[in-house]
Every structure is written in C-alpha cells, then in structure tokens.
C-alpha cells in the first residue's frame, strides 16, 4: 500500500524532537537520541521543511532520527502507523559514535489522516514517538 | 385434552375477556327480554341455532356446509333488518331508554278478576244495582231462566252498560264464564229464607237463592246502599275492598296464588334466559379464542437486567430472540409488541463469557398468549469491567494549508488524558485524537481549543481529565527548495 524507501547516512547534528515524545536514552547502551523529526526531505544530511502536517502533493514524508553515544553497531526501528494500524516497520543501522538515519513513505490520497512513527530499539523499547498528519 | 384446554383457557382469562363475556351476555339477555314472543326473537333463535350448526360443521371439517350456513346466516341477518323492521321499531319505540337498558317489561295484563272487581266497585260508587254470577263446576241452566246470550269479552265498559239503569236487562243477572259474559238479564231463583236482613231486596234474595242451590259465586251491588256482598253456598259476605273481592274471585275459580306462581315462573324464565345467555356467549368466546387459534413469530429485543454497574456488556450472541407465540386470532391481532418482553438477569454474571438459557420465566407474554418456541434458546453474553487508561492526544488535521506555508509544530495541552471504558476497547487504543481541525486559512501561529473525538461513544473522559484540549501551533513560510533535489 505504501511504497517505502529507506536511506541511511552519517549525521552529526544536534536537535530536539518535534511534535513527538521527549528524546529518550537507551539505558542499557547509553544511546542518546539527539534529534527526531518529520520533514519533507533530506538535503545534505539535514532535514528540510520540518513539519507536522504534510499534503499528499508533496509526494513523501521522511522520519529523521539522529543518535549519539552509540556504543557499537546496532539497529533501531521506525514503525509507521496510520491511526492505530501498523503500516510498516523499517530496521535502520546505527554505527558508533554518532549516526543519523531516516525512513520515508511515499504519499497517496488514501494515506490522508493522522499518523505516528514509533522509534524503538531491538527490545521494542519506544525511544520516541513522532506524530503528524497527512492531508489533501 | 379438551378439558385441559378449557381449564387453561379459563385460567388465562383476562379482565377484558370477563368484561367481554358479561357485556355480550347482558346484550343477549336484553334482546330476549325486549323481543320475546315476537317473530324477530324466533328468527334470532333460528340464527343462533344455525351458528351452532355452523361451528359443529366447521369442527367436523364440513367445508361446504359451513360455508353455506355462513351465507344463510348473513342473509338471515339482512332479512331480520328488512322484513322485520316494523316489529323491531315498534319494540324499540314503544319503550323508553330505561326499559331498553335494564327494565323488565311485565307481560301480565289486567286479569278478568281485576276487571270484574273494578267494575263492581264502579257500579257500587254510582249506586247502580248489579247481579253477577260466576258459575262453579255445576250447571246452572236448570234453575236460571230468561237469559239472553251475550258472549262478550269482560270489560269495565261492558259491565257498566249492562247494569246501566236504563238498560232493559239491568235488573237481571249477568252470568260470567272465564273472561266472557255468557248471558245477561238472567232470572235467578229467589231465596225463601226468613233470616235475611230486611234491607235485602230482590237482588240479594236471588243471589242467595242461586248460591244456596249451586256452587256459583254471586256478587250483588245494592242499588240503595251501594254495598257489595258476595254469596257462595250458604255464606253471605259483605265485601268492602277491591282486593277482598279479587281474593274471593280467585278462590272461587281456583286460581288463588296463580299470580304469585306466574311471577315465580316469570323470574325462573328470566333467570334461565340469563344463564343461557351467559353460557351461549361463553361458548362463543371459547369458539373464538380456541377455535381460531393462530401462530405468530415476534422478534423481541433482550433486556439485560441487574448488570453490575462496574461491568459493561462487550458482546452478545443475540440482541433479540424470535418468539413463536400462539393464541386466538383476535388476541394475536390485538397484541402489542411492547407487552412481550424478554429479560435476562445478569445479577450473577461474571467477567468474561456467560451462557444463559432463555426459559419461560425470562419471557413475559400477555394473558391468553402461549409461548411455543424461543430461537435462539441460548444466549452468550460477554462482560467486562471498566478500566482507566492514559492516552496521548494527537491532532487530527484536515484540509489544506495556504500555499507557501508550513505547519512546523503543534503542541497539545494536556498532552495526555485519562479515558474510562471497556477494557477490550481501551486495549486496542494507543492514541486519542481530536476532532478534525481545519488547516484552511491558517497563515499565522496561534492557538485554539479543540474537542476530543471519543469513539466509540462508550468511551468517557476520566473525572480528572477534560474533553477539550488547547492546541498551540506554529505556522511558518515554506523554505524554497532546490528543484534539482525535488523528490
């Protein structure tokens, strides 16, 4: 239903989460979420047009997350929900010591409604939740 | 089995049925009272007999006979109205409303004895002498003379005219037989007794003379004194009142007490008619209520009673049951759906699935209606307790922002609310959304108050939470993007 393209890359910026639950740390590994944001695109490793509402005409929505204090290569997950329905979950790689990564969905008319992306670790501990809406 | 049917029918009598039977029995009884002795009544009896025959024919399955009798009855009813309309009108018009509704019209007219007594005292009042002979069992022809045959029906006017002083026959005796004046101007044998009062004239002596010889009763009205005496056998009686005279007349004719007897007979006849009317209407009622039994199926919603207020009904295998009901066609037709109820007591229900068998005790039907079948007979009811769950609030945006603007942030206060609802529902909920918030026209940062969209409606906001939240939003101008990097 939703085409998903995932891109990972290095990221060293520091930011706060936007319209999401407060950044959390993974206690077991000292992992620190430095930024979590929904945006229209990524350019030069930076989120473009951070927002909480995305029109379908934009074509895509990107969930960008950046972590610090990464002890070792590991995975985090972006779970995309439309309403309370899980649409897709993407596994993203994190590499020490800092790493930025993102996932995105392509937008269609049928995707209109409230969405959220839950960012969680391998133990399914939710690190943060980003909430946004897709509109006409 | 028929006896059981009758017993069950009597046991299921409603007050409406009793009123129905009583009312129609009274109407039937009144028809008897008003129309007895008339042709209309005889035709009505005929129609009633036809109805009984028709019911028997229907019971035996004689289709054509039943159909034909029904047709005849319909025509007979028409005949009564058309052919006998004059008789019906005369019966109804001749009586006032009281008589029609509850009066018992007397059928006993004035008897000849009463007419004779009235006439005698009329004559006495006018001092017109009179001599009336009421023969007993013995024949008088051998001792009376010169009588003129009359053969007129006894009436006050007739007797008055016979003994009118200018009437040529007024000095003679009139012989009365039953309700007729047989002879007038009759000469009776004179008594030769010496012990009679000097005031007694020829009339008195004639009367005493005849009475001494025969078993006749002779009435004398004195022209001089206006006194009335009667004589029978050797006995002479001065009669002062009308009632005395009537009593003597009745004693003589052997009908003493006949009026009382007639009244008793009349009461017995009316009581019999009343009983027959009740029995007839009851048989009709049973005919209608049992003979025309019909079946119907009714879908009735189940009412769940005595639920623990802490629990909610999550799911039921059936919200209504189909009841197969039987009863008379009239009862089934007049039955209102709201009078049929199915109630399940959840007083002993527990959290989780509960199985209830629907028994007759759970079902209320109107009197006279019999429950035949319940479908489904078993109902599963799942119950759950209400729980409280804290959920984050998310804005449900709709519409479209003006071109060139971007909504970069939105903050809801409070960010979370407590919701109260069924555990099953709340278990699947992770977010509570606001009502739709339109984006159209938003070009500036601002705030607004928004209602929560509580769906399903059974969800409630906890007592420590609110169902409206404050939404603060930031609107910025969109950063122009490099076309080369457009997705």
Fold match flag (B112-253 vs B292-376): no
A5 vs B: CB within 8 A: no
Is residue B82 over pLDDT 60? yes
Question: Residue B427 and residue B449: Cα distance in Å, rounded?
Answer: 27
pLDDT value of position B484:
55
End-to-end C-alpha distance for chain B, whole angstroms: 89
> Under an 8 A CB cutoff, do B394 and A113 touch?
no
B286-333 pLDDT, tens per residue?
766 665 567 888 899 999 999 888 887 878 899 899 999 887 777 787
Token look-up 């008789």 returns B87
A95 vs B: CB within 8 A: no
Provide the shortest C-alpha distance from residue B434 to chain A (in Å).
10
Sheet containing A113-120: order of strands: A53-55, A126-135, A113-120, A74-82, A85-94
> Under an 8 A CB cutoff, do B433 and A114 touch?
yes
Q: Residue B480: how many CA atoms within 13 Å on its side-chain side?
A: 2
Concatenated DSSP letters of B179-234: TEEEEEEEB-PPP--SSS-TT--HHHHHHHHHHHHSS-EEEEE-TTT--EEEEETT
Question: Residue B103 and residue B95: Cα distance in Å, rounded?
Answer: 9
- Domain of A57 in residue numbering reads as 4-135
Select the residue from A6, A18, A48, A51 to test the B interface by mutation, using most B Cβ atoms within 10 A. Answer: A51
Instruction: Report, as an integer, the average pLDDT of B461-483.
Output: 83
B472 vs A: CB within 8 A: no
What angle (nearest 5°) sits at the alpha carbon of residue A125, between those of residues A122 and A131?
Answer: 110
pLDDT value of position B288:
67
Of the ranges B20-34, B248-262, B332-346, B395-409, the best mean pLDDT one: B395-409
- Which residue in B395, B396, B407 is closest to A51 by CB distance? B407
Q: Which residues contact A132 (CB under 8 A, 6 or more apart)?
A: A19, A38, A51, A52, A53, A54, A61, A114, A115, A116, A117
Question: Residue B185 and residue B172: Cα distance in Å, rounded?
Answer: 4
Mean pLDDT by 10 residues, chain A (136 residues): 37 35 49 94 90 93 94 94 94 93 94 95 92 94
B210-237 pLDDT, tens per residue?
888 888 899 999 888 888 999 988 788 8
Provide the shortest C-alpha distance from residue B348 to chain A (in Å).
36
Q: Please indicate, yes or no, whether the overall pTM of this predicted structure exceeds 0.90.
A: no
Q: How many domains does chain A have?
A: 1
Question: Residue B14 and residue B18: Cα distance in Å, rounded?
Answer: 7
Residue B307 preceded by cis peptide, ω within 30 = no
B143-183 pLDDT, tens per residue?
887 788 888 888 888 888 999 888 888 888 999 887 888 88
A124 vs B: CB within 8 A: no
DSSP state of B480: P
What angle (nearest 5°) sits at the alpha carbon of residue B428, between those of residues B423 and B429?
Answer: 95
Look up residue B446 and give its two tokens: 């601002």
> Under an 8 A CB cutoff, do A136 and B406 touch?
no
Question: Residue B69 and residue A82: Cα distance in Å, rounded?
Answer: 78
pLDDT value of position B386:
84
Q: Which residues pair with A23 in a beta bridge?
A: none
> Under an 8 A CB cutoff, do A114 and B487 touch?
no
Provide the shortest C-alpha distance from residue B468 to chain A (in Å).
18
Q: What are phi and psi of B17, to 5 degrees?
A: -70, -40
Q: Which residues pair with B131 in a beta bridge?
A: B220
Select the residue from A36, A43, A118, A133 to test the B interface by mutation, using most B Cβ atoms within 10 A. Answer: A133
Token look-up 């079902």 returns B363
Token look-up 């007739």 returns B158
When computed from its CA atoms, the radius of gyration of chain B, rounded to whole angstroms, is 50
B455 vs A: CB within 8 A: no
A68 vs B: CB within 8 A: no
Domain extent listing, chain B = 2-106+263-289, 112-253, 292-376, 386-483
B276 vs A: CB within 8 A: no
Instruction: Report, as an integer, the average pLDDT of B75-89.
Output: 79
Does residue A31 contact residue A121 with C-beta atoms inside 8 Å?
yes
Please, which pLDDT band fits residue B102 given cuts at 50, 70 and 90?
A: confident
Q: How many helices (H) and strands (E) does chain A have?
A: 0, 11
pLDDT value of position B148:
86
Provide the shortest C-alpha distance from residue B310 to chain A (in Å).
27
Concatenated DSSP letters of B308-333: -TTEEEEEES-SEEEEEEEEEHHHHH
Residues in chain B: 487
> Under an 8 A CB cutoff, do A114 and B479 touch?
no
CATH architecture of B292-376: Beta Complex (2.170)
pLDDT value of position A79:
97
Q: Which residues pair with A92 in a beta bridge?
A: A76
Please, which pLDDT band fits residue B3 given cuts at 50, 70 and 90?
A: low
B426-456 pLDDT, tens per residue?
888 889 999 999 999 899 999 999 999 988 8
pLDDT value of position B280:
86
Concatenated DSSP letters of B365-406: --TT-EEEEEESSEEEEEEEEEEEEEEEEEEEEES-PPTTEE
Lowest-confidence range among B88-97, B197-206, B371-380? Answer: B88-97
Q: Which residues contact B341 (CB under 8 A, 6 or more apart)?
A: B300, B303, B363, B364
Q: Does domain B112-253 have CATH number 3.30.1490.20?
A: no
Question: Residue B371 and residue B261: Cα distance in Å, rounded?
Answer: 54
Q: Which residues pair with B293 in a beta bridge?
A: B328
Does residue B134 contact residue B249 with C-beta atoms inside 8 Å?
yes
Provide the shortest C-alpha distance from residue B386 to chain A (in Å).
21
Which residues of chain A lie closer than 8 angstroms to B392, CB-CB? 21, 129, 131
> Under an 8 A CB cutoff, do A52 and B487 touch?
no
Question: Residue A21 and residue B415: Cα distance in Å, rounded?
Answer: 10
Cβ neighbours around B242 below 10 Å, total: 15
Express as a percent the part of chain B with pLDDT over 70.
Answer: 91
Express as a percent the part of chain B with pLDDT over 90.
Answer: 23
Angle between helices B39-60 and B85-93 (to 10 degrees): 120
Which residues of chain A lie closer than 8 angstroms to B479, CB-CB? 48-49
B406 vs A: CB within 8 A: yes
Instruction: Report, as an integer, the average pLDDT of B233-256.
Output: 83
Provide the shortest C-alpha distance from residue A65 to chain B (in Å).
17
Provide the shortest C-alpha distance from residue A114 to chain B (in Å).
5
Token look-up 């699947």 returns B428
For B386-483, the fitting CATH number among 2.170.120.40, 3.10.290.10, 1.10.3720.10, 3.30.1330.40 is 2.170.120.40
Domain with residue A99: its CATH number is 2.60.40.2550
Q: Which residues pair with A99 in a beta bridge?
A: A67
Residue B151 preceded by cis peptide, ω within 30 = no
């Amino acid at each position: 239903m939703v085409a998903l393209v995932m891109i990972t890359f290095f990221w060293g910026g520091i930011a706060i989460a936007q319209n999401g639950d407060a950044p959390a740390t993974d206690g077991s590994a000292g992992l620190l979420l430095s930024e979590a944001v929904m945006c229209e695109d990524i350019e030069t490793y930076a989120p473009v047009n951070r927002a909480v509402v995305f029109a379908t005409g934009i074509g895509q929505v990107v969930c960008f997350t950046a972590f610090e204090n990464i002890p070792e290569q590991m995975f985090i997950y972006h779970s995309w929900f439309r309403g309370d329905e899980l649409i897709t979950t993407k596994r993203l790689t994190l590499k020490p010591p800092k790493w930025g990564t993102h996932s995105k969905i392509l937008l269609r008319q049928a995707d209109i409604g409230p969405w959220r992306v839950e960012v969680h670790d391998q133990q399914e501990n939710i690190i943060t939740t980003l909430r946004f809406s897709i509109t006409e | 089995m028929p006896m059981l049917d009758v017993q069950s029918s009597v046991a299921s009598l409603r007050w409406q049925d009793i009123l129905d039977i009583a009312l129609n029995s009274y109407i039937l009884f009144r028809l008897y009272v008003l129309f007895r002795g008339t042709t209309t009544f005889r035709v009505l009896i005929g129609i009633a007999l036809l109805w009984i025959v028709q019911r028997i024919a229907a019971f035996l399955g004689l289709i054509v006979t039943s159909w034909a009798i029904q047709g005849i009855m319909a025509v007979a009813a028409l005949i009564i109205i058309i052919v006998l309309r004059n008789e019906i009108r005369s019966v109804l018009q001749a009586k006032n409303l009281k008589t029609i509704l509850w009066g018992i019209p007397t059928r006993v007219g004035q008897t000849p004895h009463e007419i004779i007594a009235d006439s005698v005292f009329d004559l006495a009042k006018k001092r017109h002498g009179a001599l009336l002979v009421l023969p007993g069992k013995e024949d008088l022809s051998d001792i009376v003379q010169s009588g003129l045959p009359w053969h007129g029906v006894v009436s006050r006017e007739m007797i008055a005219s016979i003994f009118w002083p200018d009437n040529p026959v007024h000095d003679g005796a009139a012989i009365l037989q039953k309700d007729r004046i047989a002879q007038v101007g009759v000469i009776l044998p004179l008594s030769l007794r010496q012990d009679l009062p000097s005031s007694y004239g020829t009339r008195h002596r004639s009367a005493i003379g005849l009475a001494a010889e025969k078993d006749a009763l002779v009435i004398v009205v004195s022209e001089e004194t206006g006194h009335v005496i009667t004589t029978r056998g050797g006995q002479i009686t001065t009669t002062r009142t009308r009632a005395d005279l009537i009593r003597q007349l009745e004693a003589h004719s052997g009908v003493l007490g006949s009026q009382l007897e007639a009244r008793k007979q009349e009461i017995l006849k009316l009581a019999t008619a009343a009983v027959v009317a009740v029995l007839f209407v009851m048989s009709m009622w049973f005919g209608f209520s049992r003979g025309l039994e019909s079946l119907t199926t009714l879908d009735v919603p189940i009412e769940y009673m005595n639920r623990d207020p802490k629990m909610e009904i999550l799911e039921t295998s059936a919200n209504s049951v189909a009841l197969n009901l039987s009863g008379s066609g009239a009862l089934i037709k007049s039955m209102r759906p709201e009078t049929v109820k199915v109630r399940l007591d959840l007083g002993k229900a527990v959290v989780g699935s509960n199985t209830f068998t629907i028994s007759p005790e759970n079902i209320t039907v109107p009197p006279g209606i019999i429950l035949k079948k319940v479908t489904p007979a078993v109902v599963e009811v799942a119950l759950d307790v209400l729980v409280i769950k804290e959920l984050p609030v998310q804005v449900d945006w709709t519409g479209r922002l003006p071109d060139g603007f971007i909504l970069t942030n939105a903050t809801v206060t409070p960010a979370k609310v407590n919701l109260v609802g069924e555990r099953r529902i709340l278990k699947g909920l992770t977010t509570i959304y606001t009502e739709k918030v339109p984006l159209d026209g938003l070009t500036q940062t601002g705030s607004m108050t928004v209602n929560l969209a509580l769906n399903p409606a059974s969800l409630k906001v906890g007592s420590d939470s609110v169902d409206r939240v404050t939404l603060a939003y930031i609107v910025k101008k969109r950063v122009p993007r490099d076309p080369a990097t457009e997705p």
